[in-house]
A and B are shown apart, each in its own frame.
Chain A
């Protein structure tokens, strides 16, 4: 059992008031709040060891380099990568996806196929569309059913020897559906396609095991898992990272530079041009330590409780419809109320201190599928409580009264 009050005390922002009301923060899908230990670690880095990494021979530079590489090692352990050099620091999930999609520009040929799912965030659609425009490859889409679940028979039918890349999210940001990625990875590999998993929404809720999943790439962001903004990780299998060309040129990613020819550094540095977000990379390790100290099993158990409670309470509201009713879900509830625009509800409950996301959640194809302009999305974290859910339900009811 988690001591939620104790946990909440770790997050200074949670005790503040917004619009004169106690903050109820249910926009965790957009970004999580940060515990004091993470905030302190960021400050400590700048106060005590700030220096550029991998270059200087001086003591501070070595301390900073060690801290950065220790963090990489922690993340390697956390996701169970085979090697630390398969763990690349990025600025976030979007950066990681673009690094891979750009790399495939030199691999794909006209007529090759890239499969994405209907549940994707725009950041896992647009880079692949750009890749297809560049290479003449064709984008194929796995459809969803009314519950927001991928239709696996249709996915099977899309696969062929033309399929070169399959890319999809582990958990849908708009609906919270957990996708059967293990099945998809296995099937895609059977036709020789590489698989990228967008883990942005998964890593706050679970601990991915990239070897067990056998995915070729797994991209995620630090800021959704209690880490700093502007941090992220791209895991790539060694063989794939060796195959892909560098994404950006610059310092750090080279072995030798002459005007005639440059040779590239070994992994992971080949993909880490320029001075990275050193503090962020180090502190992401702190955030992961923090999450592991709470324990992902505990987190999941508690968040599932919140999800069940929120679903039950929200459905008491007349005319409320939940989108994404599949069985396997993370702690996200995406909903609308009959005849009321999500923007109106969101604006009013904001005044009552409730922070939710409204709109299309950067996943317009899903909204088009359900023929809606958007939804209200409440996404819960382990520091949220049932009392907060009650407050949200009351706020939504109040908004409904005002608006109808």
Chain B
């Protein structure tokens, strides 16, 4: 599936919920299914700075695709990163670079993009894109 298709699928899933509680409960569930980063990759280098909670993110190239794993000490953050990984993991670098993130808005997580929390979500997206840019540059060389 393309990134857009996955994002639409996520939007569909979230549209079934009537209120924030159901959405949050689902995010918590997703957090439990996050593809966990290997302990050895939980380094300072892979730590995304500026979040209230700690987030480690690791990207690896698998053929022409990038596979992400991650972890966080907060469960909601884990859920949010699980959503991002679902959308962006196992995709080509060039597609990740081009992809937009409007679906975050549509699933009602806009407040996590606000300046105070965000360093969280915004930095996660930034780091995912940075990985894509780095692998893309490497592949072209």
Contacts and interface: CB of A to CB of B under 8 A. Distances in A.
B20 A402 contact: no
Interface in A327-350: 340-344, 347-348
B24 A402 contact: yes
Interface in B67-91: 73-77
Contact of B52 (A348, A351, A374): A374
Interface residues of A, number: 15
A210 to B, nearest CB: 35
A347 B117 CA distance: 10
Interface residues of B, number: 14
B53 A373 contact: yes
B52 A402 contact: no
Interface in A345-360: 347-348, 351, 358-359
Nearest to B23: A351
Which residue, of A342, A344, A351, A402, has the highest number of chain B Cβ atoms within 10 A? A344
A373 B54 contact: yes
Contacts, number: 39
A6 interface: no
A343 B55 CA distance: 13
A359 B21 contact: no
A351 B24 contact: yes
A108 to B, nearest CB: 32
B73 A373 contact: yes
Interface string B3-47: 000000000000000001100110010000000000000000000
Nearest to A351: B20
Nearest to A341: B74
A19 interface: yes
B75 A344 contact: yes
A403 interface: yes
A402 B74 CA distance: 13
A347 B76 contact: yes
Query: Which of B53, B73, B77, B117 has the most chain A CB within a 10 Å cutoff?
Result: B53
B75 A341 contact: yes
Contacts of A358: 52
Interface string A389-404: 0000000000000110
Instruction: Determine the main DSSP class of B at the interface with A.
Output: helix
Contacts of A359: 52
Given A343-B53, A359-B52, A351 B21 contact: yes
A343 B24 contact: no
B24 A348 contact: yes
Contacts of B77: 341, 343-344
Contacts of B54: 373
Contacts of B28: 402-403
Contact of A402 (B21, B53, B117): B21
B74 A344 contact: yes
A19 B25 contact: no
Interface string A347-389: 1100100000011000000000000011000000000000000
Contacts of B21: 351, 402
A403 B74 CA distance: 10
A374 B28 CA distance: 20
B75 A403 contact: yes
A375 to B, nearest CB: 11
A19 B75 contact: no
A346 to B, nearest CB: 8
A89 to B, nearest CB: 28
A359 B75 CA distance: 15
A348 B75 CA distance: 11
A68 B67 CA distance: 62
A19 B19 CA distance: 11
B16 to A, nearest CB: 18
A17 to B, nearest CB: 14
Q: Which of A342, A358, A373 has the largest number of chain B CB atoms within 10 A?
A: A373
7 contacts: A341-B77, A343-B74, A344-B77, A351-B20, A373-B52, A373-B54, A403-B75
Given A348-B76, A351-B21, 7 more contacts: A341-B75, A343-B53, A343-B77, A344-B77, A347-B117, A358-B52, A402-B25
Interface of B: 20-21, 24-25, 28, 52-54, 73-77, 117
